[in-house]
């Protein structure tokens, strides 16, 4: 799953620590999500999207696995 | 030891970076209980070295550290539940790595003991294995998600 967290955060001019505080998680969590190393659960994903005033789909992009 | 490791690895870094984290509230009671449990541990160890005590008294003293350490366990579990989902994820991996590597180390130790290469296993060594491998597990998990 890809995400636009870094871009949206830059648009808002927020630091990772500020975003972390906004959604009530550690900065390590934001770093891991931004780097695509960790996919957040639904509650955190919604919190992140809401903090940017966006819908879930505008922040997180689901990559459909290739079949066949 | 586990609490100390937990505090050093887990509570302090997020606490310093994001003081609004709910886990912060567990910090003071955790440290206080850790100090109390350590004092009781040391006291029990000192008492058990005294030669004049009867066997039933020794058994009672051996159980003295249990209540404070049970409180520690409860506090640690409570603190883990207050961590965010990512940190819980890292902890789970660290605990899994620590558990499996401790099992492997004890297994190897047992075979080395059979080969008469090592003395009989001291239970305290298992504790050290757990602490060491949990620390290694934490570093591996934290680096993986960086």
Give the C-alpha separation, A11 to B10, whole Å. 31
Task: Give every CB contact of residue A3 below 8 A, 6+ residues apart in sequence.
Answer: A33, A34, A36, A59, A60, A61
- B134, burial (CB in 10 Å: exposed 0-12, middle 13-18, buried 19+): buried
Ranges B3-17, B55-69, B85-99: which has the least confidence: B3-17
Measured between CB atoms, does A39 come within 8 Å of chain B?
A: no
Query: How many CA atoms lie within 13 Å of B101's alpha carbon, on the beta-carbon side?
Result: 19
B3, B2, B12, B1: which is closest to B87 by C-alpha? B12
Chain B residue closest in CA terms to A20 = B18
> pLDDT value at position B123?
83
> pLDDT value at position B16?
47
> pLDDT value at position B4?
57
Longest dimension (CA), chain A: 43
Interface A:B, Cβ pairs < 8 A: 58
Average pLDDT over residues B59-83: 92
Q: What is the pLDDT of residues A27-58, one digit of tens each?
A: 999 999 999 999 999 999 999 999 999 999 99
Q: What ipTM goes with this model?
A: 0.87
| Same domain? B44 vs B88 | no
Measured between CB atoms, does A65 come within 8 Å of chain B?
A: no
Helical (H) or strand (E) element with A61: strand A60-61
| Same domain? B35 vs B105 | no
> pLDDT value at position A15?
96
| Same domain? B7 vs B48 | yes
Q: Using the beta-carbon criterion (under 8 Å), do A25 and B20 form an inter-chain contact?
A: no
Assigned CATH topology for domain A2-55: 434 Repressor (Amino-terminal Domain) (1.10.260)
Residues from chain B contacting residue A37 (CB–CB below 8 Å): 144-146
Total domains in the fold of chain B: 2
Chain B residue closest in CA terms to A43 = B85
Domain that holds residue B119: 84-146
Q: At A14, is the pLDDT very low, low, confident or very high (cuts 50, 70, 90)?
A: very high
Chain A residue closest in CA terms to B19 = A21
Mutate to test the interface with A, among B18, B92, B140, B143 (most CBs of A within 10 A): B18
């Amino acid at each position: 799953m890809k995400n636009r967290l870094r871009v949206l955060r830059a648009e808002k001019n927020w630091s990772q620590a500020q975003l972390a505080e906004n959604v009530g998680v550690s900065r390590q969590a934001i770093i891991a999500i931004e780097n695509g190393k960790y996919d957040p659960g639904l509650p955190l994903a919604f919190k992140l999207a809401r903090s940017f005033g966006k819908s879930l789909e505008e922040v997180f992009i689901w990559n459909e696995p290739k079949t066949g | 030891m586990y609490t100390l490791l937990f505090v050093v690895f887990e509570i302090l870094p997020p606490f310093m970076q994001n003081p609004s984290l709910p886990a912060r509230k567990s910090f003071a009671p955790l440290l206080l209980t850790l100090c109390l449990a350590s004092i009781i541990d040391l006291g029990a160890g000192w008492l058990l070295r005294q030669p004049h005590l009867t066997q039933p008294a020794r058994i009672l003293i051996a159980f003295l550290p249990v209540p404070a350490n049970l409180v520690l366990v409860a506090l640690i579990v409570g603190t883990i539940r207050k961590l965010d989902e990512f940190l819980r994820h890292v902890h789970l991996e660290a605990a899994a790595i620590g558990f499996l590597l401790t099992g492997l180390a004890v297994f190897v130790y047992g075979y080395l003991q059979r080969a008469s290469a090592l003395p009989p296993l001291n239970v305290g060594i298992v504790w050290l294995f757990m602490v060491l491998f949990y620390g290694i597990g934490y570093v591996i998990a934290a680096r993986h998600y960086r």
